[in-house]
Structure 1
Amino acid sequence: MSASDHKIVNQENKSAADIITWREYEALRNEMRREFRAQDDVLNGKVEEISQKLDATHVTVTTMQDQMTDVQRSLADLRLAVENLTTQQQQEDDDDPELQDDAHNARDAPRGNRPRCWAPLGRNGRGQDEEDGLGKPKFPIPKFEGGADVEEYLTWELKIEKLWSLHPHYTEDQKIKLASSEFDGYALRWWDAFVRNREEDREQPIRTWRAMKEAMTSRFVPTNYLRNIYDKLTLLRQGVKTVDEYYMEMEMLMQRGRVRESLEMTMQRFLNGLKYDIKGIVRHYNYTNMNQLLHHAREAESQLADEAKIKGRATGAGRFTPRAAPSTAPAPSPRSTPYCTTPSTPVSNVSNTKKSESAASTSGSNVSTARNRDMACHTCGGKGHFKRDCPNRKVMIINEDNEYETGDDVDPNALEDDDYDTDGEDAYPSDARTLVVS
C-alpha cells in the first residue's frame, strides 16, 4: 500500500473533531482527480465507439437509398423498353405478309384440314391470343356512346362492374382494353383523344380500371349530381303516379344517391309523399316494415278507384235527360245551318240546358266529402269535381266557313225572349253531322 493510501486510511480512521494537515488534504485531492480522469477516459471511449457505429449506420442507409433509387430507375427503363418492344412486335406482325397469308389460308382451309386450337402466330412462334391475353370474350361488352344523360354512364359502369366480378381473372390492362373496345360515337372520340393527350404530355398512362372510372366519372358525371338527387328525393310526391310507380321512383333515387337511413325514416318519407286520400286510409293500418306499408297503400288505392267507379255510375244515371223528338219541319238551307255541339236540340234551349246542368253540378259539389278535395277537373282546372261534373258548359258553334262562336258570344236575352231568329223564321235542329269540342 502506498503512502497516499496509508494517509487516506488514516484519515478515514479520524473522527469529525480531528484536524487534518495540508499534506493529507493534497493527497486526498490528487487521488480524487486521478479517479475522475480515469472514469472520464472510459466514458469518452464509449461515446467515441457509439459515434463511430452511428456514422457507419448512416453510411449504410445512404448507400441503400442510392441503390433503391437506381433499382427504381432501372425498373422504369425496363418497363418502357418492354412496352416499346411489344408495340414494335405487334406492328411487325401486322405488316408481315407471310403471317397474313398463313392466317388467310388457315381460315379458307376445309374444316377437317384446319389444325386444332389454331391461332395466328407471331415471329416468336406464340399465338396472338397469348400475346395480348384477350382473345375474343365469351360475353358481350355493353356499349357506351357518351351521351349527356348521366344515367347512361352510371348504368354502363354498373354493368361493367358486374362483368368484372363474374370474371375476376382479367388483369387491369385487359379490363381497360375490353371496356374501351365497345366505345362508340362521342365516347370513342373522347377516349382516343384523352389517351393521346396523356402520351403527348408525358403523363402516366391509365393502367387500372379504378383510374379509368375516375377519369370517366369526372367527365360524364357533373359535380352537383348528388345534390340534384337529394333535391328530387326531398320534393318527391305521388301526384298522378300510381303507388307502385311512386315507390319505385323513390327507391331508385335512394339507390342513386346512396342514401342510407333507418327504416322508420324511409317509411315516413314514403307515407308523406302519398296522396291525401290514400294517406288517410293507410294511417289506420298497423305496419312494421316497408312491404306491409306498400301493400296497405295498394289496397287503399284500389278501394278509392272502386268507389270512384260506383259514384260515377250513380251520377251518370241521375243526370239522364231524354232525347228530344225529331222535328218534321223542312230543314233550312245548308249555308245558314251551323254545326252545333248539341245535336237534335234547338239553339234557343242552349241557355236553359246550361242553367239546369250548372244547378245539378252545384248541388252535387255541395255534398262532396273531404276525400274529393284532391279531384282535378281536366276542363276548367278546378278542384273538387271531375270533368263530367264541371259547371263550365261552354258551347262552340262552327259554321260552314270554319268560323266558330262560343256560348259567351251569344246574346242570352235574344235566346230567352222568343224562339225566332233575326229573320223572323223558325230555327230548327240540324240533321247534319256535328262536331263536339270539349
Structure 2
Amino acid sequence: MRKQKRRSKSSYSQYSSPNESLNVGDHYQPLSRRTIKPRESKVDLPQFFGKDDVEAYLDWEMKVEKLFAFHKVSEERKVSLATLSFQGHGMYWWTSLEKKRRLHNDPSIQYWNDLRSALRRRHIPSYYGRELMNKLQRLQQKDMTIEQYRQQMELYMMRACIREKEATTVARFLSGLNLEIRDQVELLPYKDLNDLVQLCVRVEQQILRKSSSKRESSHSRSLKKDYMEEEKSFEKKIISEPSKELAKNKDKNKDKDIITPLSSTKTTDIKCFKCLGRGHVASQCPTKKVVILRGHDTYSSQEETTTTYSSERELLMLRRILHNQPSGTLSQRENIFHTRCNVLNNVCSLIVDSGSWCNCCSTRLVNKLSLITMSHPQPYHLQWLNKDGDIVINQVKVNFSIGKYEDQALCDIVPMEACHILLGRPWQFKKKTIHNGFTNEITFTRKEKKFVIYPLSPQQVVED
C-alpha cells in the first residue's frame, strides 16, 4: 500500500507540473509535420484544329496565354497542356514535327515560347504584317457603326503591334469617319479618344433619329395621297354614272329633234360630225366602235362619244382602220391575226403580220412596264398615214408567252396604238411559220414540239 501511494505521488508530481518539464527541455521532442504540396488546378484550353486561318490562330493564342496567367501554370506544363488541345490537322502537324526533330537529333520543344514561335511560322505568313498595315491605312467607317469602326481599328493595331501617341490615333480615327459625322464632331471639344468616340455615338444617334422621322413623314404623306386619290376617284364614279345616263337621254332626244325637221330635206345635205361623211348623222355613224385604252393594261370596246379628236392623234385613225370589222360574223376572211400574250404577268395584245419587215413594240408598253431599251444599230424614218413621221432609234427585247409557248423577240420601239407587240417577217422567218389563210392559224415547230396558235374571233378583237 505504501509503495502504491508513493508511486501515485511521483506520477502526480510528474504530470502536475508540465511547465517544469518544458523548462528543462531534456526529454521534449517536437512533433514532425507533413509537407503538403499545393494541388495544381485543372486547366481546360480551347481546342485548336490547325486550320489556315490567321485570325483564328491569334484568337486561340491569346486565350491560351490568358488561361496560363490566370491558373499560374508552370513552364514545364504549358507545352503539354497546349499540345493536348490540338485536334485534327493540328494534332497531325505536332506529331510530324516531333518526328522530324527526333530524326535530326534536335532537342524536343519544352517551353511555351519555342512552341509559340513554331506555331507562328506555320500559321502566320510573312506578309501578314504589311497586309495589316495596309488595311489599317485604308480603314473607313462606311456602313459600320461607330462602335464597330473603333473595334476594327483597335484590332488591326493590336494585331500589327502598333504603339503610337494618342494624338496620332485620334487623327487616324477622324480620317476614317463618314463626312456627315466628322463635320459635326470636329467643331466640338474633346480630351482624348474615349471622349471623341462618345461624341461620335451621340451624333450618329441624332442622324438616325432624323432619318427615321423623315421616313415616317414621307410614308404618312404617301398614305394620305393614296387615300385622297381613292376618295376622288370614288366621287367621280358616283357623279359620272348618273351624268352618263342623262347625257344618253339628251342625245336621244336631240337626235329625234334633229331628224324630224330634216326628214323633208335630202339625205345628201345631212353631214356627220365624226367622220365628216354625208347621208347620216353622228349617232348613226357606222364607225362608232373604237378600242379605248384604260389603266392597268385592260381594254374594252365602247361606243364613241361625240367629241372630236385633234390632228395629232393619227394613231387612233390607224387603229380604226385595223379594228373596223363587220359585226356579227365569225369568219376570219377580213381579220388579221390577233391574239393575247403575257408580258411580265400583264395581258397584252399581239398581232402577227407578214406585211411588216420588222418586229415592233409600242412605246406605251415599254414605258408602262419599264423595259430596258437599247440603241438601234440602224435608225430609220417611220412614215404613218399623215405627212409627219417618227424616227426609230431604240430597240427592246421582249419576253412574252402565249399559253405554254414562251419566246423572246427583238422589237423596234414604235409609237403605235393598234397593239402592244407586232411580230413581222423576222419572227416568221426565224420560226419557219406556216399560216393557214382560211382558219387564220399559225403553225410552227420548236424543240421538236409542234405549236398551233389560234387567232381571236372578230368579236373578241372588237372587244379588245
> Which protein has the bigger strand share?
2
Q: Name the one with the larger helix percent.
A: 1
- Normalising to structure 1: TM-score of the pair? 0.48
